Structure 1
Amino acid sequence: MKFMREYLLKYKAYIVILLIIILFLIAGYEYYEKYFYVLKDPERIKEYVMSFGKFGYLVFLMMQIIQVIAFFIPGEIIQIASGYIYGTFLGTITSVVGITIGSIIVYGIAYRFGRPFVEKIVSERDLKLFHRILEIGSMKYIIFLVYLIPGLPKDVLAYFCGISDLKFKDFAIYSTLGRIPGIAISSYFGANLISGNNVTLIIIAITMSIIFILGVIKGERIIKSIVH
């Protein structure tokens, strides 16, 4: 028993990292094999959430938190579902709270276990991208812009921030502020799915698609232009 206790204490960091990786694998399996069809459809998400009765709100909040930690889960659909279920205002608040909590957890995980862990779950391409972007100017304002501009891998960025020189307080504030406009638009879109206002939905979808494509292609250049 003493040997086992000493072994666990010596390698506790590696054990925790292994458990987190296992959690990722389980979440990936559950998502792709069981819940992919649910997460593509706001109505199915609503049915799933409402099946928990009075605990439905907490379940949905947990879904928002998990989609940030397991960044391969499409957060946009869940944000749209938030507006679809709770309306624009409460849906926005719910998504902001859940995503902020998830981002804080991610930052803490990365801060605690360091670069070796982050390099195991974040691609080298994304790490190089964030290295370049965060060297453009003041780190906290760059973080705000990255979270504001659609098309950049925001949830992955939270892991990178945990191993950067960015203070936790600045990360929490500026990442949340940057997310709010996009979350509000997604919630508004979801709320309008019920009303059947197709013109509004089409305008929002086309506009956000164009902005998203520009963010993917020109995101880094846009940030440089704004900062300079």
Structure 2
Amino acid sequence: MDKNNRWLNTVGHKLKENRLKIFLILISVPLIVGGYHLFFRHSNTFQNPEEFKQWILSYGPFSIIMFVLIQVIQVVIFFIPGEVTQVAGGYIFGAFWGTILSSAGILLGSTIGYLFAKYFIKKYVLRMIEKRNLKRFKKVLDAGSNKVVILVIYLIPGIPKDVLVYVAGVSNVTLVDFILYSSIGRFPWILASAYFGEGIHMENYSAMIIIGVVAIALFIIGFWRGHSIIDFFHRIHKEKQR
């Protein structure tokens, strides 16, 4: 009886996993194909806020869906700079809705990227980790400090983020923890980017200057000292566990 139950549980688990894989394929393939099409056909559009706004609004009632899809795509294939689309969200929809829509798209894209890495491209991601010197990130994500590290990584500008969606997918961090702590870490910068975009549209140059100066200063700190900061929080967490 126990053997039969274990067999049924195993079969049930595999069926759920296979359904998830099919679902991911059905979502990911159109996103990747559409992403390449968008990037190569409309690459100049992303550099012009007003042109990008008119292009998005040309979809009428579906403009919100289109913008969220673009945010999903920029996380999944990370060719389109996330900061550009986040600023565009504030420029088109205002700071409040720009933040909400960007957050929704990034959350969906992060979930898809994490699951895709976990179930389809694990070997490729592990090779990428070796080539791109990302072993430190995987090491700390595999450790007990992963929640703190995820928060710090996404809170500090200047550290590569979208590629870490895939690193997290092949590490020991759970999907729930990854989405929760990366979303908390991303939020201040999504909000700041949206306010910056709104400032461009409203010609509020004082707000743009303040946000720009703070962002550049923190970017420099993150670029030069980001790895040291991550190692510091990792060491503190390990010492607390002893």
The normalised TM-score by structure 2 is 0.78
2:134 match: 127
1:141 match: 148
Q: 1:21 to 1:63 in 2, by over 3 A?
A: closer
1:95 match: 102
Deviation at 1:92, TM superposition (A): 0.6
User: Are positions 1:151 and 2:163 aligned together?
Assistant: no
Q: Distance in 1 between matches of 2:37 and 2:224?
A: 30
Match for residue 194 of structure 1 among 182, 201, 204: 201
Alignment of 1:19-98 (within 5 A): 27-28=35-36, 30-31=38-39, 33-98=40-105
Residue type of the alignment partner of 1:124:
K
List alignment gaps of at least 5 residues for structure 2. 1-20, 237-242
Deviation at 1:34, TM superposition (A): 2.1
Worse-matched range after superposition: 56-65 or 198-207: 198-207
1:112 match: 119
Identity %: 39
> Residue 36 of structure 1: SS of its match in structure 2?
coil
Q: 1:128 to 1:193 in 2, by over 3 A?
A: same
Does the 8 Å CA contact 2:129/2:135 hold for their aligned counterparts? no
Residue type of the alignment partner of 2:150:
I
Q: Distance in 2 between matches of 1:113 and 1:197?
A: 46
User: Are positions 1:203 and 2:210 aligned together?
Assistant: yes
Q: 1:22 to 1:189 in 2, by over 3 A?
A: closer
List alignment gaps of at least 5 residues for structure 1. 1-12
What RMSD in Å do the two structures reach over aligned CA positions? 2.6
Q: 1:29 to 1:94 in 2, by over 3 A?
A: closer
Deviation at 1:219, TM superposition (A): 0.4
Does the 8 Å CA contact 2:95/2:198 hold for their aligned counterparts? yes
Q: Distance in 1 between matches of 2:146 and 2:51?
A: 39
- The number of residue pairs the alignment matches comes to 212
Does the 8 Å CA contact 2:141/2:168 hold for their aligned counterparts? no
Q: 1:95 to 1:23 in 2, by over 3 A?
A: closer
Q: Distance in 1 between matches of 2:93 and 2:227?
A: 34
Q: 1:199 to 1:94 in 2, by over 3 A?
A: same
Q: 1:170 to 1:64 in 2, by over 3 A?
A: same
Does the 8 Å CA contact 1:114/1:163 hold for their aligned counterparts? no
* Deviation per residue, 1:190-228 (Å, 9 max, x gap): 111122121221221122012112111110112233453
Q: Which has the larger radius of gyration?
A: 2
* Deviation per residue, 1:43-97 (Å, 9 max, x gap): 2221111111111110001000000001121110100010111111111111111
Q: Distance in 1 between matches of 2:34 and 2:66?
A: 18
Runs of 4+ displaced beyond 6 Å: 20-23
